[in-house]
Structures are given as C-alpha cells and as structure tokens.
Amino acid sequence: MKISERELAKRVEEALFSCLERVPFLKIKDIEQERGQKAAKPDLLIILEGPEGSRTFMAEVKKTGQPRVAREAVNQLLSLSQAFPQALPVFIAPYISPTAAEICEKAGVGYIDLSGNCRLCFQEVYIEKTGNPNIFSEKRDLRSLYSPKAENVLRVLLLAPGKAWKIQELAEEAGVSVGLVAKVKSLLVNREWLSEANGLAIAEPEKLLSEWAKNYNFRKNLVRDYYSLKSIPEIEVELAKLCQKEKLTYALTSFSGAARLAPAVRYQRVFAYMEETEKDIAGLLNLKEVSSGANVSLLTPYDEGVFYGSQVIDDVRIASTIQIYLDLKTYRGRGEEAADILLEQVIRKKWQREKITTK
C-alpha cells in the first residue's frame, strides 16, 4: 500500500493522538514540520502540554520502518540531540518491526508507527503498544524479493552462506541479471540480513528462510497425482533409473527428499520434480492418475531454479535442503513438522559449520 506525503503527515498526527490518548493529562500543543536545511532539524518537532509544563519530541519520519532505515533514523536523531538537548527522540514510520523496535529501544529512542505500535518513555510516563500487524504490508516489496527469478538469488545465498559474492559472480551463478541482484541486495540490506563486508553474504539466513516460507506456495508448481501398487522405495528407485536412462532432469522433494537427510521423517507418498517432457513418464512407471488416494505426486516446476543445489544420495537425486524445506513448510498435514526436523537436524548444522550465527 503506497502512501502519499500528505496522507503520511495526516496519519502521523492521528498516530500521535492514538498513542497519547491513554494519558489524559498530556495534550498535543503543536506539531512543527521541518523547515530549512534538513541536516539541522528533525522532520517534526512535537510540543506536548502537561501539568508540569511543555515537553518536546523531535521525530524522524520515514516511509519504511525496515531495520536499516530505523538505524539510520536513530543515528540522525542522536546527532540532532546536540542541537535539541531537551527534546525526546522519536522514530515514526508506517510499520516498525520488532527488530526495528529493538534498535530504537537499545538506543533510548521512542517509536510510533501508523499500524498502532508505539513505545514512549519520559518522566513518569511509559506508553507501550505492541503486536499490531503491518496494515501497510509492503506487497510490492515482497513480490519483488520472492519472485521466481529473485528466488534464484536467495537459493544461492542460503546454500552457500559462508561465501561472500561479488554482484557479477552472484548474477552468473543464479542465472539472472546484475540489475536483479542489485535489487535483491537492496531489499536484504534494508532488512539487515545481508553483510557487505567482503562481498555479499547472508547474515541472517533463518530470518530470510522464515519470511520466504511465509510467501511461498507449493501449489505454484503444476502437481499431478497418481497411484501405484508398488512400494514407495520401489517407485522412487524406478523413477530415478528412468530419468537417468531418458536423460531427464528430476529431483525428489518434500517428504521424499527430507527422509534421505533426516531419517526421523516418515512418509507415504513420493514427491518429485520433473522437467517438462513429451515422454509419458507416468505410463512408463505404470502410474494411474487419480483425484484422491494418491501415493505419487509429480511436479512440473514453476521455475527451473527448484533444481539448483540438488544432490545425489544412494543413486537418487533430491532437491536442495532449502527447496525441500520450502515445499514441506507450506504443505498441509505433517509437512510443517517435517520441515522443522529438517531445519534442526540438517540446515542449522550446515549454517553453524559455515560460521553463520542464527538468531
């Protein structure tokens, strides 16, 4: 949801009144917008009137409350404290995430967002409201970061978290343009999930994977369900042999892939990505297409990136741990439980080996 400058100013005033409504002895006397040289003044000076006289807030107002932007606003407010030593610093944005709120709190800066969250602490007053969702959900931002081509960049970063990439190198590895990598970089930097110390390296892999899973849909793939009289292991081995013989790209995923990485995962259906082909794979495997009671699901991928990072275990190719996790996490039934097992037993251990700290 985009918000204009005029609408932003109006909503800021409404948010201030909402935040202070539970403190009847405080009234907003005046709101002064920044005039003149920006470096010398905050965006807003808010004067409150109370029993003990007036109190001034100086506020930085941003169109996004992403952690990087919050940190920049906090630094700006702290530097302005020399010019306005009696003013209380406050960060204002459409939505301030828990991470951004923590940045403000640690710096002694108050915050107010237009989604109903706030924290102000001065004299005998303490106001805190948390837990309200982002009513300005940045859908365009999410669509950009989790589009099929952008996801290819995320796969590369998450599967090699200890590596620092140059932009050109990352673009070539992901098979996308340099411009797209730059866009993904900007979105991740705003979240403070990317390190730029010696190149581009993921700094918060679990936070990225968690948000990706929330914006991922297993049904983006074309799924066809079948039934076979053969056992699950027999079907998987025959599928692998057939694809090798016909030189077809494939990879087991979901429960089929996870069970080869984390033995605690139990399952009763084969899940496999298959590249598009005119060959009758189902017929060659004696599979019968069904609308219910399936024990085989063949997936035509929404993007070839699902095959990136695949590996062979016991002569059978499986998708990457990241792709398997995504497919499990959004699959109804026991999928989420199996995804958590995979994260705990395999993915986190790999990140730890590569000296990535999860939070």
Domain span at 337: 218-353
Whether residue 228 is found in the same domain as residue 306? yes
Distance CA 37, CA 80 (A): 13
Together in a domain, 225 and 252: yes
To which residue do tokens 């986190």 refer?
Answer: 348
| Residue 186 in domain | yes
The total of other beta-carbon atoms located within 10 Å of residue 227's CB is 14
User: In 3D, which of 61, 103, 109, 106 has the Cα closest to residue 81?
Assistant: 109
- Asked if 268 and 308 sit in the same domain, the reply is yes
User: Cβ of 25: how many Cβ atoms within 10 Å?
Assistant: 12
Sequence-distant contacts of 306-311: CB under 8 A, at least 24 apart: 306/221, 306/251, 306/253, 306/273, 307/249, 307/251, 307/273, 307/275, 308/152, 308/155, 308/156, 308/159, 309/155, 309/159, 310/251
Q: Is residue 359 part of a domain?
A: no
Burial call 5-22: b when 16+ CB within 10 Å, e when fewer: eeebbebbeebbeebbee
Report residue 81 as tokens. Answer: 């404290």
* CATH code for position 32: 3.40.1350.10
Please report whether residue 192 resides in a domain: yes
Same domain for 207 and 248, yes or no, is: no
Half-sphere exposure of residue 112, counting CA atoms within 13 Å on the CB side? 26
Last residue in a domain, options 106, 129, 152: 129
Domain assignment present for residue 76? The answer is yes
Q: Let me know whether 50 and 75 are in one domain.
A: yes
Domain end: 182, 214, 246, which one? 214
Tokens of 169: 């190198």
Same domain, 14 and 90: yes
Number of folded domains in the chain?
3
Among 214, 243, 269, the domain boundary falls at 214
pLDDT by position in tens, the chain (length 359)? 455 666 767 788 888 888 877 777 888 888 887 655 555 788 888 888 887 778 889 999 998 899 999 999 999 999 998 889 889 999 999 999 899 999 999 999 999 999 899 999 887 788 899 988 887 766 778 888 999 999 999 999 999 988 999 999 999 999 999 999 999 999 999 999 999 888 999 999 999 999 999 999 988 999 999 999 999 999 999 999 999 999 999 999 999 999 999 988 888 999 999 999 989 999 999 999 999 999 999 999 999 999 999 999 999 999 999 999 999 998 877 899 999 999 999 999 999 887 654 44
Q: CA 289, CA 291: separation in Å to the nearest integer?
A: 7
Quote the CA–CA distance of 133 and 113 in Å, as a whole number: 11
